[in-house]
Every structure is written in structure tokens, then in C-alpha cells.
Structure 1
Amino acid sequence: MSTAASTSPRFRSKTLAGALAFFFGSLGAHRFYLYGLRDVYGWAHLLGTIVGIPGFLLLAATERASALGWVLVIPGAISLLAAFLAAIVYGLRPDEKWDAQFNAQTQEHSRSGWTVIFVVIFSLLIGAFLLMTGLALSFQTYFESQVQAARELSQ
């Protein structure tokens, strides 16, 4: 068995990278697929998610009153939203640019189809929904705390 197959560069699919960013991006799957396990940003995604989940659970348990929950949830939210943004960026990149960056040493070329377009559409839809929901809840919590502080001052 030849070792040439194991050392040859592998083809990286734009559609698969976008789908990994959409479904498992907050775990860094798209970064690990494209750059390998030594990618610092892939591990940052994973760490942000690991920190963000307890923050989200703490906020849910305290009805958004926990300062620690807000601090912990921010890295997780950044990781999640950055993953949806990565799926959009990967999907909208022209095939020629994608191949120049990720498939320069291979003989294969990307041929994107409708699948990557649907990944982009759903990434935009869900990512924008989560961003707007997060902003609305953040502002609502802030203004409710200001009203509560004003009530306490007036008494």
C-alpha cells in the first residue's frame, strides 16, 4: 500500500464546509474541516460554546437576572453567530476563489449547486433571528433593570 495517497492534499468541499458551519459551527467543525485540529479559532468556537451553555442555563433559571449568566452567554452567542456568518461567507464565495484558497494542490474543482444556496438562506434566516432575539432580550432586561432601580430610588 502506497503512502502517497495519505500525503496528497485532500479536496475541501464548499458545500460541506458551509453545512458544517450551519449545523456544527459553534463546535468549530467547519474550522477543523478546513484547517485541521491545530486551528486556534476552531478551539475558540468550542470553548465559547462550552462556556456559553451554562451561561444560557443560568439565565433561563434566574429569568435573565444573573450577571454571571450574561458574562458566560456572550462567548457562546459570539461563537454561534460567527458560525452562521461563516456559512454565509463560504456559500457566497465564488467557486474559483474557493478552489484557489482550499483546493490549489488538488485536481478537483468545486461545483456549487442549490444545496449551498439553501445553506446560505437558512443561515441568514436563523442567524438574523437569533441575533435580533438576543438583542431584544438584552435591551428588555436592561430597561427593566433601570425601571426597577428608579422605583427603588423613589421609595
Structure 2
Amino acid sequence: MAPAPADADHPTADPDLPPGWAAEPKWDGYRAQLARYADGRVLLRSRRGADMTPSFPEIRAAAAQLPGDTGLDGELVVWESDWLAFECLQQRLPRRGRAATAAAAQWPAHFVAFDLLHLAGTDTTPWPYHRHRAAIEELFTGQQLHAP
């Protein structure tokens, strides 16, 4: 573990990371895990385990592109023009059924995947970072996954 640089409160376009280190941006959204099971079921859950699947039907539908028994860790976000709209995301969470479908049309959510937990039944959590990164990039390009 390394101490934060003195200017840690100021974002930078070009972080000076030590060799072999990697960083992911902090998204203004909800941390979530997305799973597509072997039987085709989809589960989107919060980091506390709450089922968010009914609130985000567009994410559930998009997860059908994933191979069965695949799990991703990431962040749910809503874009408004060229910025992230956390307040719109907050309004999405309590909606279900038709209200969730209407909200998805008004404020579509996106799942920003930053880690691959399972891939077609294989537990990827013991893999080193470089292998995780290569596998998630291959998943998205190989499967030609599309937003959201």
C-alpha cells in the first residue's frame, strides 16, 4: 500500500503510476455485480446484495449478450449529454415494472464493467490483474458486446 500523493484531491489526465500498477477511474454511480447464469437468468445486485435487476430492465436485456455463467463487477451510471447524472440514477432504483421501463427510456443506465469474476463457469478471481484485464477486453471484443 502506498500513501496518496499530496495532490490526491485534484484529478489528473495523466496519473504518474509506478511501473506495473494500474488504476480505474471512480465513476459517479452504483457499484454493482452483474451475473448471467447458465440457465439464462440475470441478476444485478448492489454491493450490499440487494437485487436491482427489476429497476434496470435495459441492463437485464443487455446481459443476454454474455456467455452463460459469467459474472462482472462494475458500476451502474446514467449519462446526461456528456456528464454522469447520479440524481437520475437515484430516481431509477425504486422503480419496477412499467415505471422502470419508462425510466429506462428517459434515463437509460449503462453498466461500466471493470472486473471479470466468472467467465463461462471459470472462477477468474485468482487470476493476476493483467490476465483479468486481457480476458475482459477479449470478452467485450470477442462477443461484440454493445451498450448499455
Give the TM-score of the pair, scaled to structure 2: 0.24
Name which structure has the greater RCO, CA cutoff 8 Å, separation 6+: 1
Give the TM-score of the pair, scaled to structure 1: 0.24
Higher normalized strand content (fraction of residues) = 2
Which entry has the higher C-alpha Rg, 1 or 2?
A: 1
